[in-house]
A = this chain, B = another copy of it.
């Protein structure tokens, strides 16, 4: 459901939020360090981060001591914001069977079932913030970031 680019980006954003105790506008974290610590590809991650920077979720800074940092508090960045920037909202807008014109008025055979689930998934991603995610890191002993 989420692209590889989106999975990486969410993990990385949670990681940045975790590193920045105050939450945002802390020191910049280098993309190299993030990729290394999370076991992700530096090339792929930095490419994907460019979108998050353009979208105003991240601020970047070049040169020594440069890197990226959050532009908002972790409590103000929702997972859906990241999904929207990296993957777009097609998943939440499109019919599960691929019909262009599927809608409540003009449903496909499983529209009613799926529309409900899709709405719940949307709710989940839009009600979960980076802060919620990092809370689980403290709450559970072995949480993977």
Residues on A close to B: CB < 8 A? 1-2, 4, 7-8, 10-11, 14, 79, 91, 96-99, 101-102, 105-114, 117, 120-121, 124, 128, 133-134, 136-137, 140, 142-145
Contact of A124 among B107, B109, B113, B145 (CB under 8 A): B113
**Contact indicator B1/A106 (Cβ below 8 Å):** no
Oligomer copy total? 2
What residues of B have a CB within 8 angstroms of the CB of A106 in the complex? 142, 144
Determine whether the beta carbon of B108 is less than 8 Å from that of A144.
yes
Among B101, B111, B133, which residue has its beta carbon within 8 angstroms of that of A109?
B133
For A121, the chain B residues whose CB sits under 8 A away are 117, 121
**A134 contacts which of B8, B109, B113 (Cβ < 8 Å)?**
B109
**Could you tell me if B10 and A97 are in contact, using CB atoms closer than 8 angstroms?**
yes
Residues of B within 8 A of A105 (CB): 142
